[in-house]
């Protein structure tokens, strides 16, 4: 086929990795092609990221087209996003376009990486529902029908999971199973509120409504696009569908140790970008006010010129007054947006009791850290106390965020 007969490739979106609210209108292709494409937005855009999938691309496009032509004919598109594969996958895909009119192809030459390939594909997509599937037939295409059905039922995110009923992996080595589960465990430690929302956060096979990720600047790394979507999207309803991860027939996996390191980097990047910095600063300021209240009440109760009470009793009362001071400020200022959704004295009393218990736990931790730093590591006692207070402030903040002022979990059906 001569080059002129090839349909044009998709222009590569530039700039930040942000999916637009509405489907883009192609303007810089040939008149007839962009004319055809710039018709009404369509329902479903499925991105197929490829690197050296020359021996799979025909089969996957054929299977996906056959399947989707049955359920949503002329209302879907397949977007192959190829990173300039040495085996010319992009060119092989481009040659398929005349036979599959809903196929579009993007050849990336300046960027590389699975996650960014998917997002660039979604940026060029026209669908109100976006999806991703691997090109190597390890993700069974027929599962798409169940995923689409879940989106139809109202799910914001429909995930193909290996770890629910009907899920599984073909004969993975023990090592691969261990690495996959280990990666998931690491994610649960670093990003519990993200990774715990699905049974298979490592999967690269899912559909998501455009509007739950539109406008969110994404900043992924490596292979795990789903954790980026979970971390940044405003996702209420998650549906999971079991699937068996197939054996690859042609080509080989591109997963190396680099992807595992990138996964760790990705988790840390998401952690810090999701860390509620402003809320934490407010919490620390309130904590500082508590120090002054504690000192003032201690002086008032214990000093010979005032009530002259015994030191321990004065300290306990002073600490309790400081805890109540901190609770009142935190409840109104630091977590005001959360507590306003949990009105009523009973709810407030519940929060105060939880806050109190966590702060008392923090006090014990404070003493333990202080002794460890001073007696074992021989750190100066005042510096040790400052470090202990800093560590315990993080502990108090995080546990209170999760327990006392917990945003009621959105329902997961």
Applying CB under 5 A, the residues found at the interface with Mn ion are 136, 138, 253
> Least separation, in Å, of the C-beta of 54 and Mn ion?
14
Buried b (16+ CB within 10 A) or exposed e, 45-75: bbbbbbbbbbebbbbbbeebbebbeeebeee
Of the two residues 253 and 341, which places its CB atom closer to ligand GDD in the complex? Answer: 253
Tokens 């962009």 locate to 34
- The CA distance from 372 to 94, in Å, is 65
Q: How many CB atoms lie within 10 A of CB 224?
A: 25
Joined together, the tokens standing for residue 78 give 């397949």
Tokens 């609770």 locate to 327
Of the two residues 126 and 163, which places its CB atom closer to Mn ion in the complex? Answer: 163
Of the two residues 138 and 400, which places its CB atom closer to Mn ion in the complex? Answer: 138
For residues 367, 369, 370, 375, the Cα torsion angle rounded to the nearest 10 degrees is 120
For residues 63, 68, 70, 72, the Cα torsion angle rounded to the nearest 10 degrees is -170
Of the two residues 50 and 366, which places its CB atom closer to ligand GDD in the complex? Answer: 50
Residue 329 interacting entry, from ligand GDD, Mn ion, none, C-beta within 5 to 8 Å by type: none
Query: Could you tell me the CA-to-CA distances from 310 to 200, 291, 364 in Å, in that order?
Result: 57, 20, 21
> Least separation, in Å, of the C-beta of 33 and Mn ion?
31
Tokens 């899912």 locate to 206
> Least separation, in Å, of the C-beta of 53 and ligand GDD?
5
For residues 83, 89, 94, 100, the Cα torsion angle rounded to the nearest 10 degrees is -110
Residues interacting with ligand GDD, by CB under 6 A? Answer: 49-51, 53, 81-83, 112-114, 117, 134-136, 138, 202-205, 223-224, 245, 253-255
> Least separation, in Å, of the C-beta of 136 and ligand GDD?
5
Of the two residues 136 and 240, which places its CB atom closer to Mn ion in the complex? Answer: 136
Q: Which residues contact 294 (CB under 8 A, 6 or more apart)?
A: 318, 319, 321, 322
Of the two residues 111 and 128, which places its CB atom closer to ligand GDD in the complex? Answer: 111
- The CA distance from 233 to 218, in Å, is 9
Joined together, the tokens standing for residue 66 give 């056959």
Of the two residues 113 and 287, which places its CB atom closer to ligand GDD in the complex? Answer: 113
Residue 212 interacting entry, from Mn ion, ligand GDD, none, C-beta within 5 to 8 Å by type: none
> Least separation, in Å, of the C-beta of 139 and Mn ion?
8
- The CA distance from 61 to 77, in Å, is 11
> Least separation, in Å, of the C-beta of 97 and ligand GDD?
18
């Amino acid at each position: 086929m001569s080059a002129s007969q090839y349909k044009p490739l998709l222009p590569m979106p530039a700039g930040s990795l942000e999916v637009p609210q509405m489907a883009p209108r192609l303007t810089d292709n040939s008149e007839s092609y962009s004319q055809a494409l710039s018709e009404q937005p369509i329902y479903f855009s499925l991105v197929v990221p490829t690197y050296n999938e020359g021996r799979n691309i025909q089969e996957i496009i054929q299977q996906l087209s056959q399947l989707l032509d049955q359920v949503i004919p002329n209302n879907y598109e397949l977007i192959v996003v190829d990173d300039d594969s040495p085996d010319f996958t992009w060119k092989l895909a481009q040659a398929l376009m005349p036979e599959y009119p809903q196929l579009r192809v993007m050849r990336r030459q300046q960027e590389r990486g699975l996650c960014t390939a998917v997002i660039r594909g979604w940026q060029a997509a026209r669908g109100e529902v976006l999806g991703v599937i691997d090109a190597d037939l390890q993700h069974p295409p027929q599962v798409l029908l169940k995923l689409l059905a879940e989106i139809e039922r109202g799910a914001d995110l429909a995930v193909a999971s290996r770890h629910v009923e009907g899920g599984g992996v073909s004969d993975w080595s023990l090592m691969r199973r261990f690495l996959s589960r280990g990666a998931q465990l690491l994610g649960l430690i670093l990003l519990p509120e993200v990774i715990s929302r699905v049974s298979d956060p490592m999967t690269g096979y899912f559909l998501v409504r455009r509007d739950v990720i539109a406008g969110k600047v994404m900043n992924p790394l490596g292979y795990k696009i789903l954790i980026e979507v979970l971390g940044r999207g405003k996702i209420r309803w998650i549906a999971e569908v079991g699937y068996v991860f197939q054996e690859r027939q042609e080509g080989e996996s591109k997963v190396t140790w680099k992807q595992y390191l990138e996964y760790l980097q990705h988790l840390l990047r998401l952690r810090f970008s999701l860390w509620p910095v402003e809320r934490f600063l407010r919490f620390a300021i309130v904590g500082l006010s508590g120090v002054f209240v504690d000192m003032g009440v201690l002086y008032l109760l214990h000093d010979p010129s005032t009530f002259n009470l015994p030191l321990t009793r004065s300290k306990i009362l002073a600490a309790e007054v400081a805890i109540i001071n901190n609770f009142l400020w935190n409840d109104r200022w630091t977590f005001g947006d959360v507590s306003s959704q949990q009105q009523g004295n009973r709810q407030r009393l519940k929060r105060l009791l939880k806050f109190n218990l966590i702060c008392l736990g923090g006090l014990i931790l404070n003493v333990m850290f202080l002794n460890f730093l001073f007696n074992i590591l021989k750190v100066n006692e005042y510096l040790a106390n400052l470090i202990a207070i800093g560590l315990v402030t993080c502990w108090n903040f995080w546990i209170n965020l999760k327990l006392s002022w917990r945003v009621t979990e959105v329902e997961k059906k």
